Structure 1
């Protein structure tokens, strides 16, 4: 069974993100107009977007806890691109943390040094 990654605002230091699911959907569609964003599950948005030709992102945004989640499977570039762009759009000054589901050790991520640096921060 695979692991999952989670990304959220650094709630311990600054509290949760204040953006709504509707704002997440609007941001995703601004960046990737052909994206599919559904709210089939009450507390989650399911996001599917083709980030680049042949690079599909599949991830969720949980309203209740204000966290993005995605499976640990290659290429991580695609879901991390969404996780990078949406918070930069909606809350660029809010610090971001990530954790893996089996240990929940929070690690800070930097949105200010560009997408490639952000992705390397998860490696």
Structure 2
């Protein structure tokens, strides 16, 4: 079984994100009209979007804890594109961190430098 990556607001420096699950759904559907965003089953939104032809993003958003998660499958750029787009629109000033399920060592992600910098700052 593979690892899972998590992305959330840097709560230590900024507190949690203030956007809602409905705002996440609306944002994803606006940018990728053919995407699917499940209902809030057990406090999770399940998101599937084809961000580029042949590049399918599959990720979750935990409504209770305010964190995105996705499996360690290449390309990481697909789910990170969705996450960047949502955060750029709904929380552009909030610092962002990531971690992997077996290590809670929080690492920053560069939201301010644009989508390419955001994806490049994720070494996973």
TM range (shorter): over 0.9
* Deviation for aligned residue 1:54: 0.4
Partner of 1:69: 69
Partner of 2:106: 106
Normalised TM-score (structure 1): 0.97
**Equivalents in 1 of 2:40, 2:30: separation in Å?**
21
**Equivalents in 2 of 1:104, 1:2: separation in Å?**
16
SS across alignment from 2:49: strand
RMSD over aligned Cα, in angstroms?
Answer: 0.9
Give unpaired runs (5+ residues) of structure 2: none
Partner of 2:83: 83
**Equivalents in 2 of 1:81, 1:57: separation in Å?**
8
1:9 equivalent to 2:22? Answer: no
**Equivalents in 2 of 1:40, 1:6: separation in Å?**
18
Runs of 4+ in structure 1 deviating by more than 3 angstroms, as ranges, are: none
**Equivalents in 1 of 2:90, 2:40: separation in Å?**
23
**Equivalents in 1 of 2:92, 2:40: separation in Å?**
28
* Deviation for aligned residue 1:23: 0.3
Give unpaired runs (5+ residues) of structure 1: none
SS across alignment from 1:49: strand
Normalised TM-score (structure 2): 0.96
SS across alignment from 1:104: strand
Partner of 1:50: 50
